[in-house]
Amino acid sequence: MHRQYRDKGAVGALMDEYERAAEELKAVLKTVSPSDYPKIIDPDTDDPDCRSMETIMNHVVRSGYGYANYIRKQFGDSWTDSQNNYPVGNPDSACEELDKMLVYTLETLDNKWNITFKEVKENPMKVSWGVTYDFEQLFEHAIVHILRHRRQIERFILKLD
Protein backbone atom coordinates (compact mmCIF):
# COMPACT_ATOMS: atom_id res chain seq x y z
CA MET A 1 0.00 0.00 0.00
CA HIS A 2 1.34 3.41 -0.96
CA ARG A 3 0.69 6.11 1.63
CA GLN A 4 0.95 9.85 1.35
CA TYR A 5 2.74 11.63 4.17
CA ARG A 6 2.58 15.27 5.08
CA ASP A 7 5.77 17.19 4.60
CA LYS A 8 5.06 19.33 7.65
CA GLY A 9 7.49 18.18 10.34
CA ALA A 10 6.48 16.79 13.72
CA VAL A 11 2.93 18.16 13.62
CA GLY A 12 2.41 16.61 10.20
CA ALA A 13 3.67 13.27 11.50
CA LEU A 14 1.27 13.43 14.43
CA MET A 15 -1.67 14.23 12.15
CA ASP A 16 -0.69 11.42 9.77
CA GLU A 17 -0.74 8.97 12.67
CA TYR A 18 -4.03 10.36 14.02
CA GLU A 19 -5.62 9.81 10.62
CA ARG A 20 -4.09 6.34 10.39
CA ALA A 21 -5.55 5.40 13.77
CA ALA A 22 -8.95 6.72 12.66
CA GLU A 23 -8.76 4.76 9.38
CA GLU A 24 -8.03 1.56 11.32
CA LEU A 25 -11.00 2.24 13.58
CA LYS A 26 -13.27 2.91 10.59
CA ALA A 27 -12.12 -0.35 8.97
CA VAL A 28 -13.18 -2.24 12.08
CA LEU A 29 -16.53 -0.42 12.23
CA LYS A 30 -17.25 -1.35 8.62
CA THR A 31 -17.25 -5.02 9.68
CA VAL A 32 -20.03 -4.42 12.23
CA SER A 33 -23.66 -4.98 11.32
CA PRO A 34 -26.02 -2.09 12.01
CA SER A 35 -28.02 -4.41 14.30
CA ASP A 36 -24.99 -5.36 16.44
CA TYR A 37 -23.54 -1.85 16.65
CA PRO A 38 -25.92 -0.42 19.32
CA LYS A 39 -26.08 -3.60 21.44
CA ILE A 40 -25.02 -3.26 25.06
CA ILE A 41 -21.97 -5.52 25.27
CA ASP A 42 -20.69 -4.48 28.69
CA PRO A 43 -23.70 -3.75 30.93
CA ASP A 44 -21.61 -4.01 34.09
CA THR A 45 -19.11 -1.25 33.37
CA ASP A 46 -19.20 1.87 35.51
CA ASP A 47 -18.38 3.93 32.42
CA PRO A 48 -21.52 4.73 30.40
CA ASP A 49 -19.27 5.61 27.43
CA CYS A 50 -18.11 2.01 27.17
CA ARG A 51 -21.27 -0.09 27.12
CA SER A 52 -21.73 -0.47 23.37
CA MET A 53 -19.89 0.31 20.17
CA GLU A 54 -22.28 3.23 19.69
CA THR A 55 -21.47 4.76 23.10
CA ILE A 56 -17.76 4.25 22.49
CA MET A 57 -17.94 6.04 19.15
CA ASN A 58 -19.84 8.97 20.63
CA HIS A 59 -17.10 9.20 23.26
CA VAL A 60 -14.30 8.98 20.66
CA VAL A 61 -15.80 11.72 18.49
CA ARG A 62 -16.64 13.96 21.46
CA SER A 63 -13.12 13.51 22.85
CA GLY A 64 -11.54 14.31 19.49
CA TYR A 65 -13.32 17.65 19.42
CA GLY A 66 -12.25 18.19 23.01
CA TYR A 67 -8.56 17.64 22.21
CA ALA A 68 -8.74 20.06 19.30
CA ASN A 69 -10.49 22.60 21.52
CA TYR A 70 -7.79 22.39 24.19
CA ILE A 71 -5.26 23.30 21.50
CA ARG A 72 -7.43 26.06 20.06
CA LYS A 73 -8.03 27.62 23.47
CA GLN A 74 -4.35 27.44 24.44
CA PHE A 75 -3.31 29.25 21.28
CA GLY A 76 -6.12 31.83 21.32
CA ASP A 77 -8.05 30.38 18.37
CA SER A 78 -11.84 30.27 18.16
CA TRP A 79 -13.55 26.98 19.00
CA THR A 80 -16.91 25.32 18.91
CA ASP A 81 -18.13 23.63 22.08
CA SER A 82 -18.27 19.87 21.93
CA GLN A 83 -21.69 18.27 21.95
CA ASN A 84 -22.72 15.58 24.39
CA ASN A 85 -24.21 13.41 21.68
CA TYR A 86 -23.15 13.05 18.07
CA PRO A 87 -25.19 11.32 15.35
CA VAL A 88 -23.27 8.05 15.50
CA GLY A 89 -26.29 5.74 15.48
CA ASN A 90 -24.85 3.28 12.97
CA PRO A 91 -21.36 2.35 11.76
CA ASP A 92 -21.57 4.53 8.63
CA SER A 93 -22.65 7.64 10.50
CA ALA A 94 -19.97 7.01 13.13
CA CYS A 95 -17.34 6.97 10.37
CA GLU A 96 -18.76 10.19 8.94
CA GLU A 97 -18.65 11.92 12.33
CA LEU A 98 -15.10 10.71 12.91
CA ASP A 99 -14.14 12.25 9.56
CA LYS A 100 -15.79 15.55 10.51
CA MET A 101 -13.84 15.58 13.77
CA LEU A 102 -10.61 15.02 11.83
CA VAL A 103 -11.42 17.98 9.56
CA TYR A 104 -11.95 20.11 12.66
CA THR A 105 -8.56 18.95 13.94
CA LEU A 106 -6.92 19.81 10.62
CA GLU A 107 -8.44 23.27 10.81
CA THR A 108 -7.05 23.54 14.35
CA LEU A 109 -3.57 22.96 12.96
CA ASP A 110 -3.77 25.57 10.17
CA ASN A 111 -1.37 27.94 11.93
CA LYS A 112 0.57 25.31 13.89
CA TRP A 113 2.33 23.14 11.30
CA ASN A 114 5.69 24.72 12.12
CA ILE A 115 5.27 25.04 15.87
CA THR A 116 8.68 25.15 17.57
CA PHE A 117 9.85 22.99 20.44
CA LYS A 118 9.93 26.15 22.55
CA GLU A 119 6.27 26.88 21.73
CA VAL A 120 5.37 23.29 22.60
CA LYS A 121 7.01 23.54 26.00
CA GLU A 122 5.71 27.04 26.77
CA ASN A 123 2.07 26.07 26.27
CA PRO A 124 1.05 23.53 28.90
CA MET A 125 -2.62 22.53 28.84
CA LYS A 126 -4.39 21.33 31.97
CA VAL A 127 -7.11 18.92 30.90
CA SER A 128 -10.35 18.06 32.63
CA TRP A 129 -9.02 14.76 34.00
CA GLY A 130 -6.33 16.62 35.98
CA VAL A 131 -3.24 16.04 33.84
CA THR A 132 -1.12 18.76 32.28
CA TYR A 133 0.06 18.04 28.73
CA ASP A 134 2.09 19.97 26.22
CA PHE A 135 0.89 20.15 22.61
CA GLU A 136 2.75 17.02 21.54
CA GLN A 137 1.68 14.97 24.56
CA LEU A 138 -1.96 15.90 24.08
CA PHE A 139 -1.79 14.94 20.41
CA GLU A 140 -0.12 11.62 21.26
CA HIS A 141 -2.82 10.98 23.85
CA ALA A 142 -5.48 11.63 21.18
CA ILE A 143 -3.87 9.06 18.87
CA VAL A 144 -3.63 6.40 21.55
CA HIS A 145 -7.19 7.16 22.65
CA ILE A 146 -8.48 6.08 19.25
CA LEU A 147 -6.24 2.98 19.29
CA ARG A 148 -7.46 1.90 22.73
CA HIS A 149 -11.09 2.21 21.74
CA ARG A 150 -10.50 0.44 18.42
CA ARG A 151 -9.13 -2.47 20.46
CA GLN A 152 -12.12 -2.29 22.77
CA ILE A 153 -14.52 -2.49 19.81
CA GLU A 154 -12.56 -5.41 18.37
CA ARG A 155 -13.01 -7.21 21.69
CA PHE A 156 -16.74 -6.41 21.65
CA ILE A 157 -16.97 -7.96 18.19
CA LEU A 158 -15.34 -11.14 19.54
CA LYS A 159 -17.94 -11.28 22.33
CA LEU A 160 -20.70 -11.12 19.72
CA ASP A 161 -19.26 -14.10 17.83
| Alpha carbon distance 117, 104 (integer Å) | 23
Distance of CA 134 to the CA centre of its chain: 17
The residue among 19, 16, 4 whose CA lies nearest residue 99 is: 19
* pTM value > 0.85: yes
Encode pLDDT of 61-96 as tens digits. 999 999 999 999 999 999 998 899 999 999 999 999
Q: Under 8 Å CB-to-CB from 74, ≥6 apart: which residues?
A: 123, 125, 135
The residue type found at 127 is V
Tell me the domain boundaries of the chain. 9-160
Q: Is the pLDDT of residue 1 over 60?
A: no
Encode pLDDT of 103-119 as tens digits. 999 999 999 999 998 99
Residue 2: band (very low, low, confident or very high) from pLDDT cuts 50, 70, 90: low
Neighbours of 108 (CB within 10 A): 20
The residue among 6, 158, 148 whose CA lies nearest residue 63 is: 148
Looking at domain 9-160, its CATH architecture is: Up-down Bundle (1.20)
Q: Is the pLDDT of residue 3 over 80?
A: no
